[in-house]
Structure 1
Amino acid sequence: MLSLILAILLIWLFFKLGIGLIIFFLITAGLIFVFFAYLLVPFLVLLLIGGLAWAVIR
């Protein structure tokens, strides 16, 4: 939650300073990358373990 507040504060600060869209795009891309990394990596690990278990059992 604190990181989200910090990100919003940084976005507001960059818009106030007038260098908005490029920095905003970089921050947004970074946050999306982190979100998908946290979301996808465990899912891919579960798929990998499931595939290996299925291959062994079969």
Structure 2
Amino acid sequence: MSKEKEPHEKLTDKDLDLTSAQEVHYSEDFKKADKAAKEDDQQKTKMMISKKQADLLLR
């Protein structure tokens, strides 16, 4: 099963009309943003799990 692509990954180079240099920066910037978002999601998930565990312990 394939993961759904991020919106910017669905665009083709023709859609963007970027120069070669712009393509490199565009790709690198979005890879950094994707990584940061993924790490943020993982952190939020850990916090939710910790909160659920704390709630169970307090019962």
Q: Normalized against structure 1, the TM-score is what? A: 0.50
Q: Deviations over 1:32-57 (max 9, x none)?
A: 12222333312211112212432x24
1:26 is matched with: 29
Identity of aligned residues (%): 2
The structure whose residues are more often helix, as a share, is: 1
Give the Cα separation in 1 of the matches to 2:53 and 2:9.
36
1:7 is matched with: 9
- Structure 2 unaligned residues grouped into runs of 5+: none
Question: Which one has more relative contact order, counting CA pairs under 8 Å at least 6 apart?
Answer: 2
Residue correspondences, number:
52
SS in 2 for 1:22: helix
Superposed CA RMSD in Å reads 2.9
